[in-house]
């Protein structure tokens, strides 16, 4: 196994902004002498003072021994010029996100550092291959992509360009692990892993919003309370800032030669044009002014408790309904009848969305009183579920279907009849993208799931989630989305198709 750089190795960090300071902190805490350089006079010294203060705070909270905190602070040195970095074994660049500027810096560095020195860029969007093209020894350059804030976020993407030496990537991997991080290997493709695979989390929500599926607060609540995501897509975009999020979306889309998978949304373009950049500008999808009321998720008023509930089969949804109804002392009967119905009551049929609209499902199954429920990460513990009611469904039947879910303790959010509701289509498209990343050799299945759990805090890796849903069900959802929209965006990843026909799960 490749060894990590020893703690005797000097680490240089160039760029003392948010990321560079964080990376310097991580390396110093791990025991290295760290030289920090910034071309803004005083910036490195200021960052070092800030890091030392962080260490002191950690010591005060008992998270670090006081002597260790002091020693770590003393291991940080402000460098004045590139020549000061001559003894570095690794240089991590975290300067402005500009190809030419980064190339110039690395070229200059090559003249200063030893032959064995590893060069790394923290870039989040620039091709490592392209940066390396300017170097005499591009094999020693790799991406070392930390997430913000670097001291707290566990994930590091170790990105190999076309010329990167595998041994260099392996040393960076081992070193990041020795620094307490969880590294994953990735190939230098647009967005690497996280910034690529996360696109559908925003894109599907924006689609559903554009099509009038529900308002932002409702969709956010469904993603949090049914999907188990820490933040809903709209509040998250507002936090990231629409300028930043839209720029990443556009850059990934362009970098993939306008692949419709990554097509940006006009809704976000509008917000950027209007200057509604999110929290930082006081307004994005939501209004952050002091006087603004926080919008609530649309929630169905309580219906009468149905007295003829039947649960069908052994799906996760049916099993959870049984447990939850029992816990609430609501009586029901169970049927072993095969099929996709989860529950029935008052003439209504309740099913989990398979990517068809409720109207189409009602038509196809010849069951006009069809109500669809959304995917939940865990139906046993979810507190909210989205439903959509078929246009053909009569209101009394719809009331019964909603009543079943309410009797089981779910808050029920009504969505218009959008294919795949919100959580199901989002998770299906996240898994689709994760599968494509694996299929195209960007990373392996473990890496993509780890990256999404640790880089953007998803409650479950997209491929593990695909396994839990069932590859057959997942590919049905994707096929129905593709059929409805007729867009290449919803094409099913060849890897999902392969797993389906080979009757395999992702492992
Ligand atoms: P920042 O603007 O906070 O800091 C950049 C620093 O680099 C500034 O202090 C600037 O004075 C210095 N600098 C610029 N050009 C320089 C040069 N030629 N030589 C020396 N110092 C120079 O930027 P931030 O956010 O820390 O980002 C830095 C890099 O990390 C970028 O490549 C960015 O894409 C990447 N990144 C940013 C993340 C974020 O969330 N902010 C997350 C992951 C990667």
Q: What is the dihedral of CA 385, 391, 394, 398, to 10 degrees?
A: 0
State whether 20 and 167 are in the same domain. Answer: yes
Residue 339: closest CA among 318, 368, 308: 318
Residue 443: closest CA among 191, 235, 258: 191
Query: What pTM, to 2 d.p., does this model score?
Result: 0.96
| pLDDT value, residue 339 | 86
State whether 65 and 149 are in the same domain. Answer: yes
Residue 460: closest CA among 232, 228, 237: 228
* 44 Cβ below 6 A of ligand 1: no
State whether 358 and 401 are in the same domain. Answer: yes
- Region for residue 484 given its phi and psi (left: phi exceeds 0; alpha: psi -120 to 50; beta: otherwise): alpha
* 19 Cβ below 6 A of ligand 1: yes
State whether 127 and 63 are in the same domain. Answer: yes
Q: Is residue 297 part of a domain?
A: no
**pLDDT at residue 459 is higher than 90:** yes
Q: Is residue 298 part of a domain?
A: no
State whether 203 and 325 are in the same domain. Answer: no
State whether 147 and 102 are in the same domain. Answer: yes
Confidence of residue 150 (pLDDT cuts 50, 70, 90): very high
95 Cα to the center of ligand 1, angstroms: 4
User: 216 lies in which domain range?
Assistant: 196-281
Q: Is residue 304 part of a domain?
A: no
The mean pLDDT of 400-418, rounded to a whole number, is 98
Percentage, residues of the chain above pLDDT 90: 99
The mean pLDDT of 93-107, rounded to a whole number, is 97
**pLDDT at residue 107 is higher than 90:** yes
State whether 445 and 347 are in the same domain. Answer: no
Q: Is residue 369 part of a domain?
A: yes
Q: Which of 32, 121, 127, 145 is catalytic?
A: 145
Q: Is residue 303 part of a domain?
A: no
* 143 Cβ below 6 A of ligand 1: no
State whether 273 and 314 are in the same domain. Answer: no
Q: Is residue 300 part of a domain?
A: no
Residue 432: closest CA among 486, 389, 482, 364: 482
Q: What is the pLDDT of residues 157-215, one digit of tens each?
A: 999 999 999 999 999 999 999 999 999 999 999 999 999 999 999 999 999 999 999 99
State whether 42 and 129 are in the same domain. Answer: yes
| pLDDT value, residue 464 | 98
Q: Is residue 344 part of a domain?
A: yes
State whether 337 and 320 are in the same domain. Answer: yes
Q: Is residue 286 part of a domain?
A: no
Atom of ligand 1 nearest to the CA of 123: 32
* 11, burial (CB in 10 Å: exposed 0-12, middle 13-18, buried 19+): buried
430 Cα to the center of ligand 1, angstroms: 29
State whether 163 and 225 are in the same domain. Answer: no
Domain count, the chain: 4
Q: What is the spatial distance between Cα 276 and Cα 203, in angstroms, rounded to a whole number?
A: 18
């Amino acid at each position: 196994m490749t060894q990590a750089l020893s703690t005797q190795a000097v680490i240089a960090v160039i760029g003392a902004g948010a990321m560079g300071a964080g990376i310097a902190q991580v390396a110093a805490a791990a025991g290295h002498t760290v030289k920090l350089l910034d071309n803004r006079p005083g910036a490195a010294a200021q960052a070092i003072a800030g890091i030392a203060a962080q260490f002191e705070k950690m010591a005060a909270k008992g998270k670090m021994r006081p002597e260790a905190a002091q020693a770590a602070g003393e291991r940080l040195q402000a460098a004045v010029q590139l020549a000061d970095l001559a003894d570095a074994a690794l240089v991590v660049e975290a300067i402005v996100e500009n190809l030419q500027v980064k190339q110039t810096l690395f070229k200059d560095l090559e003249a200063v550092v030893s032959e064995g020195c590893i060069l790394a860029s923290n870039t989040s969007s620039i091709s490592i291959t392209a940066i390396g093209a300017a170097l005499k020894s591009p094999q020693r350059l790799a991406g070392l992509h930390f997430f913000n804030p670097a001291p707290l976020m566990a994930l590091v993407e170790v990105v190999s360009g076309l010329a990167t030496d595998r041994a260099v990537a392996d040393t960076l991997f081992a070193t990041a692990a020795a620094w307490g991080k969880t590294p994953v290997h990735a190939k230098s493709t647009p967005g690497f892993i996280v910034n690529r695979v996360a696109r559908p989390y925003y894109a599907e929500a924006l689609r559903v919003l554009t099509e009038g599926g529900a308002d932002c607060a409702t969709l956010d609540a469904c993603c949090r309370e049914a999907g188990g995501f820490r933040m809903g897509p709209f509040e998250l975009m507002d936090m990231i800032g629409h300028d930043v999020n839209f720029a990443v979306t556009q850059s990934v889309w362009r970098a993939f030669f306008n692949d419709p998978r990554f097509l940006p949304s006009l809704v976000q373009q509008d917000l950027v044009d209007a200057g509604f950049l999110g929290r930082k500008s006081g307004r994005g999808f939501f209004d952050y002014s002091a006087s603004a009321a926080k919008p609530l998720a649309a929630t169905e008023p309580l219906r009468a408790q149905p007295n003829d509930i039947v649960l069908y089969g052994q799906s996760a949804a049916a099993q959870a309904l049984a447990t939850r109804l029992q816990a609430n002392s609501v009586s029901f009967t169970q049927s072993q009848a095969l099929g996709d119905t989860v529950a029935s009551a008052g003439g209504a049929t309740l099913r989990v969305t398979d990517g068809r609209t409720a109207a189409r499902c009602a038509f196809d199954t010849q069951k006009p009183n069809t109500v669809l429920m959304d995917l939940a990460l865990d139906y046993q513990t979810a507190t909210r579920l989205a439903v959509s009611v078929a246009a053909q469904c009569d209101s009394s039947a719809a009331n019964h279907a909603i009543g079943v879910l309410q009797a089981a303790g779910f808050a029920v959010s009504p969505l218009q009849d959008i294919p795949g509701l919100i959580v199901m289509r989002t998770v299906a498209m996240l898994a689709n993208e994760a599968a494509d990343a694996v299929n195209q050799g960007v990373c392996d299945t473990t890496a993509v799931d780890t990256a999404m759990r640790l880089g953007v805090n998803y409650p479950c890796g997209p491929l593990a989630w695909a396994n839990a849903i069932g590859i057959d069900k997942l590919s049905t959802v994707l096929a129905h989305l593709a059929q409805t929209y007729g867009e290449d965006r919803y094409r099913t990843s060849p890897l999902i198709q392969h797993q389906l026909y080979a009757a395999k799960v992702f492992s």
